[in-house]
Chains A and B, each alone.
Chain A
Amino acid sequence: DAKTTQPPSMDCAEGRAANLPCNHSTISGNEYVYWYRQIHSQGPQYIIHGLKNNETNEMASLIITEDRKSSTLILPHATLRDTAVYYCIALNSGGYQKVTFGIGTKLQVIP
């Protein structure tokens, strides 16, 4: 699985969009980009994933660059409850699914 790189921390004002970047320059053609988050003391929670196209769901939007070497998770209107550690993962579409996490980005939403 490709290595991902994220900034260790970010701040965002409540009500504003939070844009969390992820670099995955060694991603292969069959690897999806997944985002999870972990709110303090809870288990990680799935947010969204994509392969090539941009994706949107009720939680967030995922923008993947055309060369697939980087992506951005967008929380359109951040709330205090979005304060969490966000993990970006590159995961193969087939074979054994070894879901491993890096350090992630600690997002602090500020009132």
Chain B
Amino acid sequence: DAGVIQSPRHEVTEMGQEVTLRCKPISGHDYLFWYRQTMMRGLELLIYFNNNVPIDDSGMPEDRFSAKMPNASFSTLKIQPSEPRDSAVYFCASSFTTGDTEAFFGQGTRLTVV
């Protein structure tokens, strides 16, 4: 398996535009996580899914953010409209259900909103 795949790796967009980040988890993994990382706030959990169902979205900063997982092999994180303060690195991770296992992270998407 190629690991968790995120796209794009880099995204530069203008304020007010819609941004969609994409993630392909490792095949067979039940959990998918979206994180945001900034210098000020560190690595924050935004939302996670179990078997394609959102379980906890309490970390989503506001209504401008939404995440979907239409099937076991694909998830999106959308920001609409984007703002400069959304500039960050966004990571996707996946893992198996059982507790005695680790999460695997993608390489991240560096988002810059100008």
Instruction: List the interface of chain A (C-beta within 8 A of B).
Output: 30, 32, 34, 36, 38, 41-46, 49, 51, 87, 91-104
Contacts and interface: CB of A to CB of B under 8 A. Distances in A.
Contacts of B89: 41
Nearest to A95: B99
Contacts of A44: 43, 91, 93, 103, 105
Interface of B: 4, 31, 33, 35, 42-43, 45, 48, 50, 55-56, 89, 91, 93, 95, 97-100, 102-108
Contacts of A46: 102-104
8 contacts: A30-B99, A38-B43, A46-B102, A49-B102, A93-B99, A96-B50, A97-B103, A101-B43
A38 B98 CA distance: 23
Given A98-B48, A99-B33, A99-B93, A92 B105 contact: no
Could you tell me the dominant secondary structure of chain A's interface residues?
loop
Contacts of B55: 96, 98
A43 B106 CA distance: 6
A41 B110 CA distance: 9
A110 B75 CA distance: 40
Nearest to B108: A43
A1 B44 CA distance: 15
A32 B100 contact: yes
Nearest to B55: A96
B3 to A, nearest CB: 9
A43 B105 contact: yes
Q: Which of A43, A45, A95, A98 has the most CB of B within 10 A?
A: A43
